[in-house]
Amino acid sequence: MAVGPGTLPEFFPVAGVRLGIASAGIKKPGRKDIVVFELAPGSRVAGLFTRNQFCAAPVTLSRKHLAEKAPRYLLINTGNANAGTGARGMDDALACCQALAQQAGVSATEVLPFSTGVIGEPLPVQKIISALPEALAGTGDSRWAEAASGIMTTDTRPKGASARVDLGGHTVTVSGISKGAGMIRPNMATMLGFIATDARIAPDALQALASELGEQSFNRITIDGDTSTNDACTLIASGQYSGPEITFDSPHLPILREALKEVYLDLAHAIVRDGEGATKFVTIHVSGAAAQQEALDVAYTVAHSPLVKTALFASDANWGRILAAVGRAGVADLDVDILEIYLGDVCLVRGGGRAEDYSEERGQAVMNEEEITIAIDLKRGDVSETIWTCDFSHDYVTINADYRS
């Protein structure tokens, strides 16, 4: 169950980035569950990682390797998170990096590991190592769609985005894939996201773009309010296009930023549309806030309310649940007599209560839609924020109750 068609785009190959896919049988025999990114020498990578203090071993090791050497390979496995595994987890993640490095002829510090799946189980190292020759032998620049499927866990469909833009007569390509459907309230990026461009981007500008775009996209989505132990998102710049290096002062930076932002947002929205058991794609827009955190507090309180989320699933225009969530969001000195709450273009709340022109029929018409906007104008300032979420259905409980079976 998911919202919208969910078809993958035509992926444009990114020069200097090749992908390989293999089956290690980590959770299900025959399933493609290993993905390898091979990066051209000179590629630059910026990473964002979970702030969950029980972060997984591959997160810790990727941070360490990024600080030491320019990455040449990314190694992703699904079916096992290698989180909550203590010292053994670090040894296992490093063993996988060493095995790939040996086969590829690079150093282990040039390999970044990523894992997703069940927490608390030892990583099946030998299964992963045994699958590496298949992944390395099959690398190519046109395997983005297969890689999108290869990083899925409880996802019902693969997620990808691709764009091209002209920078001063030079064509730049951006392609990316992501995965995630549950345990999603990223506090940095998404569960897993990989975005690549063939532009040559200065290291400081690359990290700034990764942070800024991650904040505007993956850090504005929530399925269930849970931040994963394994969240990771990388922005890769292979530098293989024929144009000049993009720096903070480059006149082409705004154009490149917009192309990257389009891909980031598409990937983030795809996660919400495929939220576990989701039947609604919900935009929550808070305006008139006095500060950014105030706007986010209101938006996330509404998004995380089980009562709001179940009403959305039922297509029940029970607007009192939204009102109650706004009221408990912790905004100091909130003037409830002047704020307004809308469902689509229908005003629900005005003057401290139900809007005089509201009707159940109009509210119900909006609630019947697959894509819904909840807009809240606090009338306290000029700050606004937007986040994206989904509803809670019976299937969310079933999926998570059966996750390990």
Residues labelled as active-site residues? 190
Distance CA 80, CA 78 (A): 6
Distance CA 27, CA 9 (A): 28
What are 134's two structure tokens?
A: 């298949």
Distance CA 54, CA 45 (A): 24
- Helix, strand, coil shares, percent, the chain, to 5: 35, 25, 40
Closest by CA position to 303, among listed 272, 277, 349? 272
Specify the long-range contacts of residues 324-330, CB closer than 8 Å, at least 24 apart: 325/301, 326/298, 326/301, 326/302, 326/376, 328/301, 329/297, 329/298, 329/301, 329/302, 330/297, 330/301
Greatest alpha-carbon span in the chain: 71
CA triplet 52, 49, 391: central angle to 5 degrees? 70
Coil, helix or strand at residue 249: coil
Could you tell me how far CA 145 lies from the centroid of its own chain?
A: 17
Place of tokens 């000195």: 333
Q: Is the separation of the CB atoms in 64 and 74 below 8 Å?
A: no
Alpha helices in 151-252 (DSSP H): 203-216
Distance CA 51, CA 6 (A): 29
Dihedral of CA 152/265/275/228: which sign?
A: positive
Distance CA 308, CA 283 (A): 13
What are 342's two structure tokens?
A: 């809308």
What are 125's two structure tokens?
A: 């190292």
Q: Report DSSP letters for 135-174, one per residue.
A: HHHT-BTT-HHHHHHHT-SS-SS-EEEEEEEEETTEEEEE
Closest by CA position to 263, among listed 199, 338, 354, 175? 175
Could you tell me how far CA 25 lies from the centroid of its own chain?
A: 25
